[in-house]
Amino acid sequence: MYIFTENEDLINRRISVQKQRFKQSVSREYKGHRQKVHTVGWNRDGKKLASGSVDHTARVWNIERSSSHRDCIELKGHSGSVDQLCWDPTHSEYLATASADRTVRIWDSRAAKCIQSISTSGENINICWSPDGKQIAVGNKEDTISFIDIRTYKIINTKRNEIEVNEISWNFGGDKFFLTSGLGTIEVLDYPSLKEIKSIQAHTANCYCLEFDPKGRYLATGSADTLVSLWDIEDLTCIRTFGNLNWPVRTISFSYDGEYLASASEDLFIDISNVETGEQVHKIECNAAMNSMAWHPSKYLLAYAGDEVDSKTGIIRIFGYSS
């Protein structure tokens, strides 16, 4: 007979409790965008949620005040779809947006004001902020990554890639730069030299997304092969895969404590699985394919947005509220 160790027993008890909490949780809707939402993200203290849309705008929602659409500010200025955004990890009010209009805009969310607009060489599809808050990296459809100095708002370096680049991120230390590719690989670069350290064949098909565990233990990747893979951050070995989705994985997100990993695709649900065991703990039912998800930085609240049945609306939902 198999006997659980104390650690395994503790993990399973925590999972059981959390299953019940998720089962009793509901989603709230936040309406305001006029077309579908491509990206969502929380600021560092979790008091604000930002969203970017095909309607050329970003919005910042004050989640703590109310669930009403009136508690948001609209950030206007882009002339193309706002496809990805990121918050300054060192400051709760600064936001960067990447747009198809070939610009990156930096915003002060307190005043709904654009601080700076930086022109880039192509239609921008991914963006990330360095852990020290001093630089932003932005990638475009031509697979060129531009590095912007936040002090001068100038592009200080560019990297043109021969492979399709889908998502980009610094590690927590800021000394390595990661990207996922159309070849199914994870490319690891030294930073700031951008010399290749390692190329890992992570998936058998296009690798779309990556995210670091907030506790600094793991890296997760999502692929067109329908799998989510979990990697040890020290030696970059694959620990396990999550196979609960049936369509290409579009978006992934770790919970604030690193206990749970959410993943979504064109399946009409969001999968939430335990990181240590791989067990599915909950499914959030959806009515369309998901584009973006983000866990709150200190609570079990998951913001998500996707393709709506009505193309003239864009809705953000947040799961985790008591029913």
CATH number 2.160.10.10 is the correct assignment for the domain at 6-322: no
- Decide: helix, strand or coil at residue 68: coil
- Decide: helix, strand or coil at residue 302: strand
Q: What is the pLDDT of residue 1?
A: 38
Q: Which two tokens stand for residue 74?
A: 């609209």
Whole-angstrom distance, CA of residue 250 vs CA of residue 174: 25
Separation in Å, CA 232 to CA 160, 217, 218: 28, 6, 5
Sorted by where each begins, the domain ranges of the chain are: 6-322
* CA 167 to the chain's CA centroid: 9
Q: H helices of 75-170, where?
A: none
pLDDT (tens, 9 = 90+) of the chain, 323 residues, equals 333 345 788 888 889 999 999 999 999 999 999 999 999 999 999 999 999 999 999 999 998 765 555 589 999 999 999 999 999 999 999 999 999 999 999 999 999 999 999 999 999 999 999 999 999 999 999 999 999 999 999 999 999 999 999 999 999 999 999 999 999 999 999 999 999 999 999 999 999 999 999 999 999 999 999 999 999 999 999 999 999 999 999 999 999 999 999 999 999 999 999 999 999 999 999 999 999 999 999 999 999 999 987 777 899 999 999 98
Q: What is the pLDDT of residue 66?
A: 54
For residue 16, give the H/E element and its range.
Answer: helix 6-23
Strand partners, 167: 180
Separation in Å, CA 319 to CA 22, 42, 74, 191, 284: 9, 14, 23, 36, 8
Place of tokens 């659980």: 4
